[in-house]
Structure 1
């Protein structure tokens, strides 16, 4: 939600509405188990070849936010590097601190949110990741996402030091403070300027409230969190549903309704996201078998068709940066 401290970003006439597809490209690990430095396998990266082909056929330029193990993968360098060189995909950074050197912190839940780390250590990890991506892919990333959405009080200034223009760590209307993470429960999906000494465009992951009570969504959703069953009941009754724009756990009908509400609210950019391990059945709760994987691609086909019907065009990082109106 733009404020005096974080003013709204203005785009040139005719830019929106547009949509961006972002992919958290990361190592494979069991989401139900504790995090570990040793979990650095990236077997699922090979499936990005099919997804990239799918995107090119649909006229979409995806933004791959790669983490440290992926950046060091020869397979990723082959698949993604080729797409980057052909300008058919954008590169970004995603920081998983537990697998990114220097390894000077204990691996635990609190430290999995990079923004909780001492500033010098967060700076060193961001710099290591940026340098590795630059060396392995031959391009400079201009967009960043903190793994687990773990942005902190020093992050924006540190991103400025690395020449990052866009942060996409905010997951609108989500709250991770119970795990010592950030609280975005009052943040909407609007792009806004953030930072004091450096100005960076904050592009939140789009989340929209739908239902009869959607205008009161942030307040009611926070209150209903004390009794989790209330949220499910409110969604089933069509009263209130929090819908992130992702194929992971969100139905086609839910996503279409969220898109329509976002457009009605005048949101200039819809920021879609998912995790790359979902491209291999069994890695995440969202794609357990091949039927789920087929449904995953069907989700994208239906949503891209709906976006086209609503006049929402695909955008990319360069297009976004070029459309920003600076004061």
Structure 2
């Protein structure tokens, strides 16, 4: 089993069956609300946005999309969340996966530090104990065995992949290419591939990286240039406005629909078979993330998805569920 924090060899690249085409997956980090500007705490959170999950689930169904709700400990143990999502899970119009926020997920045997907010930095047995408790809670309360995983804060470590394999997880989606979290103790995903790849030679654990694209005249040099600009956000803005270099993750949080469409075009031009979108569930209620502060902001988030769904349809990019992905990926 390869490590999730090491770049995979070229032979690990996954292929899909003829007819799969180019598809997209919508993932949602389904988590508690907390103040993003304050230190993390074990009990300083809320779940007030959970009733809003129902509207977004219906919105997705109306657009033929089966969202993947990646659930962490407070949500996994919320009767309200189970009440909202279980009908969609039973009908196959939604999926749930595991999302581990170690600071709110028992057992609590670690110090509350920035580095320990990345679950892959914990001792392997503690990371696994937290994961096992969460997976069991999802299975118990939602009546379904999750097949996918994302580490909160994308915080996988050297032992994470082997842990997932032991627990029957088929898909990881923790890798965020073009992003570097090492300054706060997290992983560095610069230089990681955007295409799906296998984490083991037996082809039992598939990585679906979140889609992030460099756009602009200098995009081929993005890995060399962009990391040098992290202290110079104004210069990043200048390069983007001049059409020279812009980093575009496929998310409505901080990215305009026009930027996302540019990113989609580059991804398709580069031949990516699968695009992975993401955002945080607290953005479904104003006031809980920096991206949605008002009802007008929330309207814009829904408009973002309408615009992006329509553009994907025009480009012939159809939605896919994770179970479809696993049936269409080539294992030979």
Deviations 1:8-61 (A, max 9, x none): 001101112000000000001111111000134211111000000100100000
Q: Which runs of 4+ in 1 moved over 6 A?
A: none
Which residue number corresponds to residue 305 of structure 1? 310
Residue 51 (1) aligns with residue 83 (2): no
Q: SS of the counterpart of 1:145?
A: strand
Q: SS of the counterpart of 2:107?
A: coil
Unaligned runs of 5+ in 2: 1-5
Q: In the alignment, is the contact (CA less than 8 A) between 2:252 and 2:305 conserved in 1?
A: yes
Give the count of matched residue pairs. Answer: 327
How far did residue 188 of structure 1 move? 3.0
Superposition map of 1:152-301 within 5 A: 152-195=157-200, 199-301=204-306
Unaligned runs of 5+ in 1: none
Q: SS of the counterpart of 1:151?
A: coil
Residue 62 (1) aligns with residue 67 (2): yes
Higher mean C-alpha displacement, 118-127 vs 194-203: 194-203
Q: How has the CA–CA distance of structure 1 residues 200 and 301 changed in structure 2, closer, same or farther, with 3 Å as cutoff?
A: same
Q: In the alignment, is the contact (CA less than 8 A) between 1:246 and 1:273 conserved in 2?
A: yes
Q: In the alignment, is the contact (CA less than 8 A) between 1:157 and 1:198 conserved in 2?
A: no
d(CA) in 2 for partners of 1:231 and 1:16?
34
Which residue number corresponds to residue 125 of structure 1? 130
Q: SS of the counterpart of 2:292?
A: coil
Superposition map of 1:50-129 within 5 A: 50-129=55-134
Deviations 1:121-176 (A, max 9, x none): 00101101110100001111000000000000000000011100000001110000
TM-score by length of 2: 0.96
How far did residue 71 of structure 1 move? 0.6
How far did residue 219 of structure 1 move? 1.5
d(CA) in 1 for partners of 2:86 and 2:24?
23
- Pairwise CA RMSD of aligned residues? 1.5
d(CA) in 2 for partners of 1:317 and 1:72?
23
d(CA) in 2 for partners of 1:170 and 1:237?
29
d(CA) in 2 for partners of 1:282 and 1:170?
28
Which residue number corresponds to residue 139 of structure 1? 144
Q: How has the CA–CA distance of structure 1 residues 289 and 311 changed in structure 2, closer, same or farther, with 3 Å as cutoff?
A: same
Q: In the alignment, is the contact (CA less than 8 A) between 2:203 and 2:331 conserved in 1?
A: no
TM-score by length of 1: 0.97
d(CA) in 2 for partners of 1:16 and 1:218?
28
Which residue number corresponds to residue 321 of structure 2? 316
Q: In the alignment, is the contact (CA less than 8 A) between 1:92 and 1:144 conserved in 2?
A: yes
Q: SS of the counterpart of 2:50?
A: helix
Deviations 1:260-317 (A, max 9, x none): 1100000001000000000010100100101100000000000000000000000001
